[in-house]
Each structure stands twice: as C-alpha cells, then as structure tokens.
Structure 1
Amino acid sequence: MMGISLQRSWIILSGCAVLMLPILIFTEPLLVSIGQDPMISAVAGTISLWYIPVMFANVFSFTLQMYLQAQSKNMVIAYLAFVTLGLHVFLSWLFTVRLHLGLAGVMTSMVIAMWIPVFGQLIFVFFGGCPLTWTGFSFTALTDLVPILKLSLSSGVMLCLELWYSTRLVLLTGYMKNAEVALDALSICLNINVGR
C-alpha cells in the first residue's frame, strides 16, 4: 500500500508542478508589471527558469525521502546526501571558478545536485531495496486520489503561508531606493534567521 501511496503522491505533486509552470516561465514580466526593478526582475526571471527542473526533482525527492524514512531506510538517504554534497561542491567550483559560467554554472550545479539523490533513491526502490512495499507501478494509484489531494492542499496552504512571509519582505524591499543593496542585506538577515 505504501508504494501505491507514493505513486499517488507523484501524480498529485506532478500535476501541481505543471500548474505552477506559467508562474515560473513568466516571472520576469510578472515582476515588472507589479513595479519591481527591471534588473532584479531579469535575474529573478532567469533563476525561475532554472528552477523548473529543481521543482520537478523536489516532487520525487521529498516523496521518496518520506517513503524511505517510513521504512527506516535512512542510511540510503544519508549516503546519497553525502555523495551529492561532495559532487555539488566540486561542480559549483568547476562551473563558477574554473569555467567562469556565473549564474548558469551555479544553477547547472544545483540542478544536477537535486537530481542525483532522486535517481539514487529511484534505483534503490525499483531494484529491490523495498521488496515489501514496492511491487511496481499499478493502475490502482489512479484511484482514490481525492484524499491525497485534500492532504496535499492543506499542507500546501500551510507552506504557502510560511513562505509568503519572507516573499512579502523581499517584494517590499524591492520597492526601496537602491533595491539591490537592500535585497542583499535582507538575504543575509533571512539566512542568519533560518540558520538559528
């Protein structure tokens, strides 16, 4: 049954990710239309386009992590995270310092680093790591989607309320004079606050 729930989660979350695509694709014009600084809007638009594969990686990553944690397979997640961290640091250095790719290099490194654990977890699950709960793909996953959808919506509302707080701060900071410096300062403050 856990394998069926995992597949249902993939269906619901993939659908939500597809619904969010227009926002990510049109981030720059949306920000400019509400009066944000065009230079900051352009960078945000570029980053949001790079975030599309990251968003789909999160669909699989978070659900697979919960699936594996429910079965006490935490070491698989830890090993993959350790390997990914090393590769991410190396790729970030390679793409930014050695190849001078700038933002494109940083985002490429991030996309690769987000998908490595997903592929590792999928291989583990599909090839016998969870024989009692994963029996393969099933059409049963396409039934009874409403309870999963309700749970996903309520969880999504909670996350949105949490994230909108910091997003509102960023938007308000974008209206200040010398917005780039103000956003840099806000970013530092938010990162210090999250690190506590």
Structure 2
Amino acid sequence: MNAKIKPRRRMRGARLADAPGVAMRALLAGALLCGLALPGPLAAQAGSELKIAYVDMQRLLDGAPQMAAARERLAREFAARDAALKQDQGRLASMETRLREEGAFIQRDEAERLKQQTDALRRSVERSRERMRDELTRRTREEADRAFPAISEAVAEYARAQGIDLVLTSPVIYYNAKIDITDRVIDSLRSAGAE
C-alpha cells in the first residue's frame, strides 16, 4: 500500500506561541476602550481616568458654519439652472392642461403635434432635473470633502482643550448623551468663524 503523508500546513497569522501576547494586547485595548481600571503600573501609564466623548458627524456637518456657507454657495451656483427648470416645468404644466382641456376640440393633427411637443418637453425636463440632481450631489460631496479637515481639526482641538482621551464618531451602537460634544464643537466652530 502506497499511502501519501500530507505535510502539515503552517497557520497564517499569529503563531501559537504568540497567542498569550495577542490575547494580552486585545485585553489591554478592550480595557482602555471601556475605561476599566488597569492593574498596577499600567494604571499609572494610562492615567487615573479615561475621558471618552462622542460626536455625531452628520449633525456636526449639518450644523457647521463651513457647511452652511457651502450650502449658500451651491444655492447661488444652481439658482439660474433651477429657475430655468422651473420655467420649463411651468410651460409643461400649461401644455398638459391645454391638451387635456382642449384636446377634444382641436383638430386631430394639431392635437397630435401638441402631444408630441408635450412629450418632448417632459423628457427634457426629466433629463434636466436628473442632471441637476447629479451635479448638486457631486458638488455637495466636494464641499463636504473640502470642509471636513477643518471640522475634524476642530473636534481634535476641542478634545485636547477639554482633556478628552478618545472621541468616538457615529455610527455607534450606544452612547450616553452626557458624553456628546457635538453641539459644543459646533459652537466652537461658530465662534472661530466669528473671529
């Protein structure tokens, strides 16, 4: 009988000998995140109390003065296109009303021509609306990306000034409202903008 012995494959990642070290590091990281008391010399290194705060990033972006200014810029940038779209929508509504109310009383070829014009204008309005929505989404994302570094730095500055060790951002499963610093960071952004 010619049996083949398969060589043992090495495990990827941590070796078994490293397991206690990996477990200890995971336990230490978990303890730091949960704010648990650390034994002996580790407690002296970490400080007596770990201060954790929470920031709702969506609320922060919505309330930040940088984003309010960006929304105003975008409103000015898209005002002409929005007005033209509303004008086309008004023309479309009046054409549809005319077709509905007078369609039975006008000649067949005139009614057909009016229906074709109405359909063409409807497609044009829908395309324009779609393009404008896509462009507005892209520009809003660009403005948020431009403002995000300053907003992130404001969170970090506030945390350093208040002696906060860790700031968690959304989404989180649970947080107590007493550690939410979102409104205070928004206030600091507004006061920095006023200066």
What is the TM-score of this pair, normalised by structure 2? 0.28
Structure 1 or 2: more strand by fraction? 2
Higher relative contact order (CA 8 A, sep 6+): 2
What is the TM-score of this pair, normalised by structure 1? 0.27
Q: Which has the larger radius of gyration?
A: 2
